[in-house]
């Protein structure tokens, strides 16, 4: 009998501040309907000066370790495309902040927004090899585009942590996967740049091509027909993209694509992304959190996951929601993570955006702005110093 392996627990964290799109529109004169309706975004999370992917990742994972302990965790996979070091995995800092056992392997993975899905699939493989172990997957990103660019409205920041193991309480990850890779320059960030470069329309087309590609392969591998899925969690660089992608998939498969069909399939996956913004690797799993926290009972139903990472790599797979999952959700904590953010005005956001860490190797404490459990206290001799409150 094949093992049941998947997501046993899921928790997310987001940044200290929030910028409503009305404030961005007030600055750049954009008609607010373009943000609220055209791209489907209400606000975006903005990290404080003493927050980064490590503090976000640790904040997402801490409740999981508090609930389950760390005895079974033998691997931490940290997925990000906003890496803070060319050599050291951000996961090692998280491992330290969470007090995980030294008998752990820790590694960082990168392929744009797709990295967390690679991490999840690798975790499933590790658990298959040794069902006694659990894998902690952490997906953490800060999405940053140039000020006054079209991409600016699609920024955000968040981390999702998932505990992967046998007999999962939330979602069983199923075979097969549909896969797709194409060498395209739709979005990229050379090592010397803080903000991503993007060809907006090209990136949307590349995403839709990848959606076709993964679905074709998924079908050839013998996956579920489209009509069997209860809902679809898409990567959401902005929430309207999930609607565009699902319409594209329905048309590709020769189905009708009325607005109600599309809203039924993706509507409940967008509640968190619409107020957090693009969280790159975390985005598709924030979609899952939103679905599980908002939908009527999904026990036993397959959910489709479409993970896209620019450049590009994509994967489609099914996850079956496990009976009794509702007793394990963190709906209240997720709502609080969003509600606790402090509004920042446009000038404050701009100052945070323009801030960069000194590179002279000196002693540089960071201003204490966060109120969360972990903070980046400063830099000392080119080393990041973290604190647990």
CA-to-CA separations, 177 to 84, 224, 300, 327, 385, in angstroms, rounded: 31, 11, 19, 28, 40
Q: In what order do the strands lie in the sheet with 313-321?
A: 105-109, 73-79, 134-143, 156-166, 5-14, 171-181, 313-321, 302-309, 231-234
Q: Which of 53, 100, 113, 173 binds ligand HMG (CB under 6 A)?
A: 113
User: Is 39 or 195 the residue whose CB approaches ligand HMG more closely?
Assistant: 39
CA-to-CA separations, 14 to 86, 279, 310, 375, in angstroms, rounded: 24, 9, 22, 13
User: Is 317 or 386 the residue whose CB approaches ligand HMG more closely?
Assistant: 317
Catalytic site residue 113?
Answer: yes
CA-to-CA separations, 318 to 1, 41, 237, in angstroms, rounded: 19, 27, 21
The residue among 24, 221, 206 whose CA lies nearest residue 113 is 206
Burial class (CB in 10 A: 0-12, 13-18, 19+), 272: buried
H or E element, residue 256: none
CB of 180 to ligand HMG, least distance (A): 13
CB of 124 to ligand HMG, least distance (A): 22
User: Is 238 or 272 the residue whose CB approaches ligand HMG more closely?
Assistant: 238
Q: Is 165 in the site for ligand HMG (CB under 6 A)?
A: no
Q: Which of 12, 78, 180, 187 binds ligand HMG (CB under 6 A)?
A: 187
- Active-site residue among 81, 108, 152, 174? 81
- Annotate each residue in 282-311 with x if it binds ligand HMG (CB under 6 A) or - if it does not, as one string: --------------------------xxx-
Q: Is 204 in the site for ligand HMG (CB under 6 A)?
A: yes
Q: Nearest to ligand HMG by Cβ — which residue?
A: 38
Token pair 């323009």 in the structure block, residue: 354
Q: Is 259 in the site for ligand HMG (CB under 6 A)?
A: no
Q: Is 95 in the site for ligand HMG (CB under 6 A)?
A: no
Catalytic site residue 152?
Answer: no
Burial class (CB in 10 A: 0-12, 13-18, 19+), 200: middle
Q: Binding-site residue total for ligand HMG (CB under 6 A)?
A: 29
Q: Is 241 in the site for ligand HMG (CB under 6 A)?
A: yes
Of 145-153, 166-174, 212-220, 356-364, the window that binds ligand HMG (rule: CB under 6 A) is 145-153
CB of 129 to ligand HMG, least distance (A): 29
CB of 314 to ligand HMG, least distance (A): 10
Neighbours of 169 (CB within 10 A): 19
Q: Is 168 in the site for ligand HMG (CB under 6 A)?
A: no
Q: Is 39 in the site for ligand HMG (CB under 6 A)?
A: yes
Q: Which of 8, 95, 144, 235 binds ligand HMG (CB under 6 A)?
A: 235
In the chain, DSSP finds a helix count (H) and a strand count (E) of 12, 17
According to CB under 6 A, which residues from 331 to 350 bind ligand HMG? none
Q: Is 131 in the site for ligand HMG (CB under 6 A)?
A: no
- Active-site residue among 21, 95, 113, 353? 113
Q: Is 38 in the site for ligand HMG (CB under 6 A)?
A: yes
The residue among 10, 279, 47, 283 whose CA lies nearest residue 141 is 279
Sequence-separated (6 or more) residues with CB below 8 Å from residue 228: 302
Using DSSP's 3-state secondary structure scheme, residue 133 falls into coil
Q: Which of 57, 168, 213, 237 binds ligand HMG (CB under 6 A)?
A: 237
Sequence-separated (6 or more) residues with CB below 8 Å from residue 93: 54, 58, 384, 386
DSSP 8-state class, residue 312:
T
Q: Which of 26, 99, 125, 150 binds ligand HMG (CB under 6 A)?
A: 150
Q: Is 316 in the site for ligand HMG (CB under 6 A)?
A: no
The residue among 206, 203, 197, 154 whose CA lies nearest residue 40 is 154
Burial 337-357 (b: 16+ CB within 10 A, else e): bbeebeebebeebeebbeeee
Catalytic site residue 235?
Answer: yes
CA distance 14 to 267: 21
Q: Which of 45, 82, 278, 370 binds ligand HMG (CB under 6 A)?
A: 278
Q: Is 232 in the site for ligand HMG (CB under 6 A)?
A: no
The footprint of ligand HMG (CB under 6 A) covers 31, 33-34, 37-39, 81, 112-113, 150-151, 153-154, 186-187, 198, 200, 203-204, 207, 235, 237-238, 241, 278, 280, 308-310
| Residues with a known catalytic role | 81, 113, 235
């Amino acid at each position: 009998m094949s093992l049941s392996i998947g997501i046993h627990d899921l928790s997310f964290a987001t940044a200290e501040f929030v910028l409503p799109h009305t404030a961005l529109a007030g600055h750049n004169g954009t008609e607010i309907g373009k943000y609220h309706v055209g791209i489907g975004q209400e606000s975006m999370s903005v990290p404080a000066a003493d927050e980064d992917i490590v503090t976000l990742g640790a904040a997402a994972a801490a409740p999981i370790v508090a609930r389950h302990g760390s005895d079974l965790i033998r691997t931490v996979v940290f997925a990000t495309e906003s890496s803070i070091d060319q050599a050291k995995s951000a996961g090692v800092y998280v491992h330290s902040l969470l007090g995980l056992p030294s008998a752990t392997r820790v590694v960082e993975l990168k392929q744009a927004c797709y990295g967390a899905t690679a991490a999840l699939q690798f975790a499933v493989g590790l658990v298959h090899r040794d069902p006694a172990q659990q894998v902690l997957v952490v997906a953490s990103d800060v999405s940053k585009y140039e000020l006054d660019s079209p991409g600016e409205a699609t920024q955000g920041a968040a981390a999702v942590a998932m505990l992967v193991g046998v007999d999962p309480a939330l979602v069983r990850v199923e075979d097969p996967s549909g896969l797709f890779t194409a060498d395209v320059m739709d979005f990229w960030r050379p090592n010397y740049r803080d903000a991503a470069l993007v060809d907006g329309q090209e990136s949307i087309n590349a995403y839709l091509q990848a959606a076709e590609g993964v679905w074709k392969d998924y079908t050839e591998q013998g996956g579920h027909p489209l009509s069997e899925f209860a809902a679809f969690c898409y990567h959401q660089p902005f929430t309207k993209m999930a609607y565009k992608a699902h319409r594209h998939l329905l048309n590709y498969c020769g189905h009708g694509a009325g607005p109600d069909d599309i809203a039924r399939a993706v509507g409940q996956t967008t509640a968190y992304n619409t107020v957090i913004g693009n969280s790159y690797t975390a985005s598709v799993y924030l979609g899952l959190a939103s679905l599980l926290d908002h939908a009527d009972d999904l026990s036993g139903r397959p959910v489709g996951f479409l993970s896209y990472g620019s450049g590009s790599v994509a994967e489609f797979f099914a996850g079956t929601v496990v009976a009794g999952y509702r007793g394990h959700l963190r709906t209240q904590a997720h709502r609080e993570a969003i509600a606790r953010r402090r509004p920042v005005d446009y000038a404050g956001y701009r100052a945070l955006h323009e801030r960069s860490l000194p590179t002279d190797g000196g002693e540089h404490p960071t201003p204490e702005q966060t109120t969360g459990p972990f903070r980046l206290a400063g830099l000392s001799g080119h080393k990041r110093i973290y604190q647990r409150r």
